[in-house]
Structure 1
Amino acid sequence: MTLKTTLIDVKELAALAPADVLIVDCRFDLMAPGSGERDVGKGERDYREGHIPGAVYASLDSDLSDLSRKSLGLGRHPLPLDTAFSESLSRWGWREGMQIVCYDAANGSLAAARLWWLLRLSGIRDVAVLDGGFQAWVAAGLPVESGDVVREPRPASVYFDAEQYLVDHATLRNDAQRVLIDARAAARYRGEVEPIDPVGGHVPGALNRPFSENLREDGRFKPADELRAEFQALLGAHAPSDVVHMCGSGVTACHNLLAMEHAGLTGSRLYAPSWSGWVSDASRPVAKGAEPG
């Protein structure tokens, strides 16, 4: 079996033997996240009503983030500690060398891209996002099951390679060589609207590439060569390794990072606190409108 490292389609996933793959349902509704164990969010309710057979559930708030760290200026969805992420992997029954497939709804695979990137951060590369998400699976007439899936836990211990994959506040502000790409919608980037964070606008010098531009009308990613041409036009003479991605809270930025990797433009990094982390310090500059050029 050739392991997939960026995207996988529904036919390829359906052909995998259940013992060879860990499937993770990452559906999450930012407007209906739930407030605790008894009040689960819409994404988890959707999972229990119907999911890809064998899939476990990952919550953006509790598995892919650590909301207790928001007071540290790390944004609305701070990264979990690697110890906590190891516990999630153990609970899901992950073992080294198995294919991981994460999926979301067909709205851009946002939380799935976040899990894909967290696994990359952990040194795990045999992970792919299901192209088109859960809707593509259903549209193909493939089976679904309801309820919770509990897998046999396995010991897991991973470590985040922050130096290779992450950029902190100071580096973002002082690195003159970096190219910063903001994945938010254009109106939020320009500061015309800001429905979530206390300040509108963008980091001075940031370029805007809304994550939605990575997708076709059917919710699947554009072909790799098309993505490559679009990102290269944005980067100009800069190498992919000069790129730093951001968004509102470090989630949709992973979608742009995934798109670049799928296009063969490897080596970009993430500013995980993103806009919500940047504006947590009033001394940091804010720009509005479109960047010149």
Structure 2
Amino acid sequence: MSWFTLVDCETLATSLADSSIRIVDARAVVGGARGAGREAYEIAHLPGAQFVDLETDLSDHSIEGQGRHPWPSDADFAVLLQKLGISPDHQVVVYDADVGMYAARFWCMLRLFGHAKVAVLDGGIARWLQLGLPVTSEIKVAERTEMRHPGGFDYARLFDHEDVAAHVESGGLLVDARAPERFRGETEPLDRKAGHVPGAVNRPFMANVSEGVFKSKDVLFEEFHTLLSGRTPSDMVAMCGSGVTACHHLLAMAHAGLEGVKLYKGSWSGWIASDARPVETGESSYIGHPHE
């Protein structure tokens, strides 16, 4: 039994007693009350689930100029995995309450760290509850692993500001996963400047889902195949507001068999950290399928 992209609630429910599985709750509320995700976890979560905090566990706020959720170091992430009791042999399942937008960040981090057996719970806790599956308020401390996870981030797939500028200048595909109105610069609820990186195109991450779950592999393949427009997945860089929802595209594409997409880890909030970088507003030459 190995899951690499998505796992449905019914399948996971039959495997809760499997000691090789580590379940992770990644609920968060960006722009909302700090700690809201943890509070929701403490009220009710999947049996055996451990909580990861987007702000303190999956970001390193001591790093400046890298946006609202700076990517942590190899060493810090390895310590987190050790604390969660995750070794290379464990099957990890991560969920949230927002169609995978936060869970995908942890999925992406694990995959880029070299841990293959990690999947997002399709439909998250909303679908789990809809199906009447069990939740608990009991918090079990994970059995800390003795040895640190030997992985390390694949920095060839983690782009910085200069990498993105060169990528766009050379005609590479930069796909922004934010909502269309934020991409166009009509509204900006989180960052100090509105707009997008010149040359970027927009595919909102919500275009990957339908009725609360991911679209089928075949549908996602066709949509991203159109978006790539003859390019390979490795010719694409995904971005968003702070390197969180862009991971949703990496997950959706991997589920469709399209591996190798790169991530702009600083994303929009990192791009605008310097006023010297250009900003564009309005529509892009959008390719692919519109927001649904």
1:32-181 to 2 correspondences below 5 Å: 32-34=32-34, 41-69=35-63, 71=64, 73-105=65-97, 107-154=98-145, 155-175=147-167, 176-181=170-175
Query: Are 1:285 and 2:278 an aligned pair?
Result: yes
Which deviates the most, 199-208 or 9-18? 9-18
8 Å Cα contact 1:177-1:242 kept in structure 2: no
**Structure 2 residue aligned with 1:193:** 187
Q: How has the CA–CA distance of structure 1 residues 46 and 8 changed in structure 2, closer, same or farther, with 3 Å as cutoff?
A: same
8 Å Cα contact 1:188-1:201 kept in structure 2: yes
* Partner-residue secondary structure (3-state), 2:188: coil
Could you tell me the TM-score, scaled by structure 2's length? 0.93
8 Å Cα contact 2:74-2:153 kept in structure 1: no
AA paired with 1:55?
A: A
Aligned-partner Cα distance in 2 for 1:78–1:274: 10
Q: What is the CA deviation profile of residues 117-152 of structure 1, one whole-angstrom value per residue up to 9, with x for unaligned ones?
A: 000111001000000001111111111110322011
8 Å Cα contact 1:83-1:157 kept in structure 2: no
**Structure 1 residue aligned with 2:18:** 18
* Partner-residue secondary structure (3-state), 2:62: helix
**Structure 1 residue aligned with 2:290:** none
Q: What is the CA deviation profile of residues 144-201 of structure 1, one whole-angstrom value per residue up to 9, with x for unaligned ones?
A: 1103220110132344334332111111111214210000000000111111111111
AA paired with 2:7?
A: I
Q: What is the CA deviation profile of residues 78-120 of structure 1, one whole-angstrom value per residue up to 9, with x for unaligned ones?
A: 0111111111111111122111000000x22111100000001
Could you tell me the TM-score, scaled by structure 1's length? 0.93
8 Å Cα contact 1:83-1:158 kept in structure 2: no
Query: Are 1:207 and 2:195 an aligned pair?
Result: no
- Tell me the CA shift for residue 266 of structure 1: 1.0
AA paired with 1:255?
A: H
8 Å Cα contact 1:47-1:147 kept in structure 2: no
Mind listing any 5+ residue stretches in structure 2 that lack a counterpart?
Answer: 287-292
- Tell me the CA shift for residue 265 of structure 1: 1.1
Which deviates the most, 234-243 or 168-177? 168-177
AA paired with 1:23?
A: I
Aligned-partner Cα distance in 1 for 2:155–2:38: 33
Aligned-partner Cα distance in 2 for 1:158–1:164: 18
Aligned-partner Cα distance in 2 for 1:33–1:68: 21
8 Å Cα contact 1:101-1:129 kept in structure 2: yes
Aligned-partner Cα distance in 1 for 2:33–2:56: 10
**Structure 2 residue aligned with 1:37:** none
**Structure 1 residue aligned with 2:289:** none
Q: How has the CA–CA distance of structure 1 residues 157 and 20 changed in structure 2, closer, same or farther, with 3 Å as cutoff?
A: closer
AA paired with 2:23?
A: I
Query: Are 1:5 and 2:28 an aligned pair?
Result: no
8 Å Cα contact 2:26-2:53 kept in structure 1: yes
AA paired with 2:259?
A: T
* Partner-residue secondary structure (3-state), 1:102: strand
Post-superposition, which runs of at least 4 consecutive aligned residues in structure 1 deviate over 2 A?
Answer: 31-34, 157-164
Q: How has the CA–CA distance of structure 1 residues 118 and 158 changed in structure 2, closer, same or farther, with 3 Å as cutoff?
A: farther
